[in-house]
Structure 1
Amino acid sequence: MQVHTQIGTLRAALAECRARGESVGVVPTMGYLHAGHMKLVERASGENDVVVVTIFVNPTQFGPNEDLDAYPRDLERDLAQLDAFAVAHVFAPTVAEMYPQPLQTSVDLAPLGQILIGAARPGHFRGVATVVTKLFNIVQPDRAYFGEKDYQQLTVIRRMVADLSSPIAIVGVPTVREADGLALSSRNVRLSPDDRNAATVLARALDRGEALLRAGASEPAVILDAMRVIIAAEPRAELASLDLRDAATLDAVETIDARPLVILVTARFGDVLLIDQRISARTQCDDVGENFA
């Protein structure tokens, strides 16, 4: 496993791989890796000759009052985890390497990047789309792997790749959960023990929403109201948003039909903001899955 901090050295190493006709998969991360990231790495390893993992806490996707400074970082820990997998290259650049001068170019998706989390965090998805575009230009992968937990991010990247005719397959990988249902997240380490226990309410609420959906509930309000009751019963949870959307487009849903839907929830526990999601339909739906642009 080679670790690169400079764009030029990674590009040179990958040029040799491509000269041998090898396919390249990339797993973009912000580090502090957990078992959910490892699922992405496993999937990438099974579908590509060469796997690249990027580790970069991107400052341009954090607002002025968000948790950039508190975001957990431990590169040695991350590299130790990756060493057990078939990862050929790790790209861990500095901020100065990625942004040597103030950006005059950005990638902004409207309205997709300005709704839901994008409305609560203005500019967030502009920062995400721009840094992912930079990483794609650096790595030039055949496939890129993202977790479904960050569902709006996954949808934004799929649309960005389609709009820009990028020759990259975007692969969504199902959310990995703890035994009690809590979705794995690098932010979980910042939860107090009491907030960690309370955070399982998100999975319980999603379970209830999915059960109502599969049982034939036809009004989104019925599903969302039932979920709000569950979350409201947990005093440590501060609900930020709860939405039921079309799983492919994130368009608002007025009437439930057979198409795949996604339930999206955002809640704060102490000073930690957590997100979770559930993709479902009245009947078992196929993965809304990979986008081959």
Structure 2
Amino acid sequence: MRSIADVRAAVAEARSRDAAIGLVPTMGALHEGHLSLIRRARADTDFVVVSLFVNPTQFAANEDLGAYPRSEERDAALAAGAGADVLFAPSVEEIYPSGFATTIHVGGVTEVLDGEHRGPAHFDGVATVVAKLFQIVAPDSAYFGQKDAQQVLVIRRLVRDLDIPVRIVACPTVREPDGLAMSSRNVYLDPDERRRATALNRALDAAQAVVTGPQTSAASVLDAARRVLADAAIDPEYLELRSPHDLAEVHSIGDGALLAVAARVGRARLIDNRIMEAQ
């Protein structure tokens, strides 16, 4: 479906049958990570809408909007096979018609990590398009990947602050057999870069291995991860240990801390994270 009106009509018909509505927002180039979200929505709800929209407002001027992988016909088949009832693939003009002038800014969890390094407009773009999708689909539940841990926190804050009646479900990161987190941008990697990129997950493993209790210092955790990245000649854009609840800086593991990393490997900007827990 291309139009907001058609999606609303399909959802209204499903609601007339007392169907619970699930939404899986994506930017397309679907992989197993996306499909796991669709399958979870299929298991939880009665009518599943998958959006496919490469959102221009969350890309900075120097980022890969023009090169971002697009494969709509393939995506449609994969989404249907995983259980989607509707694939909503609107044009930019359908989402942002002429004269569109509203932006949603979520404070408190957008100033650090990707918000700092991709620029303040990134999460404004995310929050605005997700709010629009929530208005269009009015889902009971919406599904996001834990690989984008900061994005999940932003959406949870958006829903809380604006009293949007949708349950946000964060699903586990899906990884390749060698541990690399699945991402649409993995297609940018050549074979050597692909091997080096596995250092992100190995760095998270190394960090967890040095955690011996709640008083384990942030410095020791970060040092263990940095060594693995350095061995792979990867200079991280950021490597930080933060609260998994509000992204406040933490100095020890405590009851759990989010270790988040972003790095460029070749043309690909990759992110990953792990909750560090005391053993």
State the TM-score bracket (shorter-chain normalisation).
over 0.9
Is the CA contact (8 Å cut-off) linking 1:146 and 1:171 kept in structure 2?
A: yes
Q: How far apart are the structure 2 equivalents of 1:214 and 1:37?
A: 34
Paired amino acid for 1:265: V
Q: How far apart are the structure 2 equivalents of 1:128 and 1:254?
A: 29
Partner of 1:172: 170
Residue identity over aligned pairs, in percent, reads 49
SS at 1:45's partner residue? helix
Structure 1 unaligned runs (5+)? 284-293
Partner of 2:202: 204
Is the CA contact (8 Å cut-off) linking 2:140 and 2:165 kept in structure 1?
A: yes
SS at 1:187's partner residue? helix
Aligned residue runs from structure 1 range 125-136, under 5 A: 125-136=123-134
Is the CA contact (8 Å cut-off) linking 1:238 and 1:269 kept in structure 2?
A: no
2:230 aligned with 1:232? yes
Residue from 274, 282, 285 that aligns with 2:278: 282
Is the CA contact (8 Å cut-off) linking 1:217 and 1:223 kept in structure 2?
A: no
2:108 aligned with 1:111? yes
- How far 1:115 sits from its partner (Å)? 1.3
Q: How many residues align?
A: 278
Residue from 3, 18, 22 that aligns with 2:19: 22
Paired amino acid for 1:15: A
Q: Deviations along 1:182-229, whole A, 9 cap, x unmatched?
A: 000000011111111110000100001112225566210111011111
Q: How far apart are the structure 2 equivalents of 1:68 and 1:183?
A: 21
SS at 2:127's partner residue? helix
TM-score by length of 1: 0.92
Residue from 71, 74, 78 that aligns with 1:77: 74
Q: Deviations along 1:103-156, whole A, 9 cap, x unmatched?
A: 321111123112111011111000000000001100000000000001100110
- How far 1:83 sits from its partner (Å)? 2.4
- How far 1:47 sits from its partner (Å)? 0.4
**Structure 1 segments of 4+ aligned residues over 6 angstroms from their partners:** none
Partner of 2:5: 8
SS at 1:54's partner residue? strand
Is the CA contact (8 Å cut-off) linking 2:24 and 2:41 kept in structure 1?
A: yes
SS at 2:237's partner residue? strand
Residue from 182, 185, 188 that aligns with 2:183: 185
Question: Residues 195 and 102 from structure 1, CA distance in 2 versus in 1: closer, same or farther, beyond 3 angstroms?
Answer: farther
Aligned residue runs from structure 1 range 88-103, under 5 A: 88-103=85-100
